[in-house]
Structure 1
Amino acid sequence: MNTRRQTIWLVSMLSLMVILSAYYLFTQDITGKDEVSDATHLENSAEVSSMGENSGTVASNTAEDGSEYTINDADQQVLSQLEKEGYFESSGLSEILTKRENRIGDEENRIMSVLADVTNDSDTSLEAIEEMAQLEEKMEKFSQLENSLMETYEVAVISEEVNDKYKVVVTSDTPEKKQAAEILDRVITELDVRPDQVSVEFVANP
């Protein structure tokens, strides 16, 4: 786990260096406050687009602050499957996924705005890089857990709630306490959280 985080951190550092190098190339021959501002905006837009490409995006959406962000392949596939099988109308699973993507989009945009601001000192930029690494690691864990759970259940979605709490929603026509206990144990172990931070909800197949 530490090795993975270090790798993500190093890759993020290299990405930041590329961003800053591109910025100075873009602004080398530009003078005036307005022109520098335009170049900074261009850099920010390019980096957000790059983040989408790295995560393998296939659809776009709008975050709560009005900015554009993209839905990753894994969640887009789940959304398509939910729509195809009728979960949109009955279970509310699509709403959970949409809220999660909104939250991720807002967080990514906030972090990227910090990285794109060349007036920030190195400590602030490094903190933003670490935040991005933690966010990516968390989403990777969500994806792995959901894929693992969907070996048993038709659909599984992990929702991050307020106050660092998590809800796991799975489809099952015959839910049992044993199943809930197994899910809780897996989530607690993988996300390294306390039992009181996790809840499990079963919804019927449509």
Structure 2
Amino acid sequence: MNTKRQTIWLISMLSLMVVLSAYYLFTQDIGGKDKVTDATNLQNVAEVSTPEGKDATAVSGTNEDGSKYTISALDQEVLEQLKAENYFEGGMFSELLTKREQQYEVENNRINSVIADVSVDEETSIAAVAELEQLEGKMEKVTQLENDLMQTYEVVFVSEELNDKYKVVVTSDVLEKKQAAEIIDQVITVMDVRPEQVSVQFIPNP
């Protein structure tokens, strides 16, 4: 529990650092028209923000407020990597990971409840199985996309937004518009979506 409180305190301190860093970034001359620092600068190319785990066991527990949380082995590995590389930008990555896990868990539970319901007709049950396969396939594609992008960027996170939109968060020293366009192309190819469904957020390396 002490370790958890220390982690929360560290994330809070980093949050303050991020605010100050953001102020510095947006009040300085970036000195180049082709360099971008956030999603807003990439609107002309789109809407312009992990390696497989070795253990399939999820990590779960209870927060101090009594709420439950569950973190998959894959995201736990990513969290450990982010901790090691000091990329907990105000808890941003941990929040994104938690949000993704919660979304997946809610959908997975909903679909499995339909599959397990003996009162539903065969057609509904078959449709639920197909939906579950689609959900699992989507998560596999997200993992593949993150792994591919991590060949170029130190830390990558892909999150699904509303209306089947995807947000890609990458860390790098700089991010050129050409690089952002390449990221968008990869997302379009892997996730089978349109350019307007993809956004890219850049976070400077610490």
Is TM more than 0.5 here? yes
Structure-2 change in CA distance of 1:170 and 1:149 (3 Å): same
CA drift at 1:92:
1.0
CA drift at 1:77:
0.8
Structure 2 residue 107 is the aligned partner of structure 1 residue 117: no
Scaled by the length of structure 1, what TM-score is found? 0.67
Q: What letter matches 2:168 in structure 1?
A: V
Within a 5 Å distance, the mapping from 1:15-30 to structure 2 comes to none
Distance, in Å, in 1 between the alignment partners of 2:190 and 2:61 is 29
Within a 5 Å distance, the mapping from 1:20-169 to structure 2 comes to 56-60=56-60, 70-90=70-90, 92-169=92-169
Are the aligned partners of 2:153 and 2:172 in contact in 1 as well (CA < 8 Å)? Answer: yes
CA drift at 1:182:
0.6
Structure-2 change in CA distance of 1:152 and 1:91 (3 Å): farther
Distance, in Å, in 2 between the alignment partners of 1:174 and 1:181 is 14
CA drift at 1:61:
5.7
Query: Over the residues paired in the alignment, what is the CA RMSD in angstroms?
Result: 2.2
Give the equivalent residue in structure 1 for 2:42: none
Distance, in Å, in 2 between the alignment partners of 1:67 and 1:144 is 31
Distance, in Å, in 2 between the alignment partners of 1:123 and 1:69 is 33
User: Which structure shows the bigger proportion of residues in helix conformation?
Assistant: 1
Identity %: 62
Are the aligned partners of 2:71 and 2:98 in contact in 1 as well (CA < 8 Å)? Answer: no
Distance, in Å, in 2 between the alignment partners of 1:171 and 1:183 is 13
Are the aligned partners of 2:159 and 2:168 in contact in 1 as well (CA < 8 Å)? Answer: yes
Scaled by the length of structure 2, what TM-score is found? 0.67
Q: What letter matches 1:97 in structure 2?
A: L
Are the aligned partners of 1:91 and 1:203 in contact in 2 as well (CA < 8 Å)? Answer: no
Task: Please give the secondary structure, in 1, of the residue aligned with 2:88.
Answer: helix
Distance, in Å, in 2 between the alignment partners of 1:116 and 1:70 is 22
Equivalent residues, number? 149
Give the equivalent residue in structure 1 for 2:189: 189
Task: Please give the secondary structure, in 2, of the residue aligned with 1:163.
Answer: helix
Structure-2 change in CA distance of 1:176 and 1:148 (3 Å): same
- Choose 1 or 2 for highest CA Rg: 1
Distance, in Å, in 2 between the alignment partners of 1:157 and 1:92 is 11
Structure-2 change in CA distance of 1:194 and 1:61 (3 Å): farther
CA drift at 1:90:
3.6
Distance, in Å, in 2 between the alignment partners of 1:56 and 1:177 is 37
Structure 1 segments, 4+ long, off by >4 Å, are: 66-70
Unaligned runs of 5+ in 1: 1-54
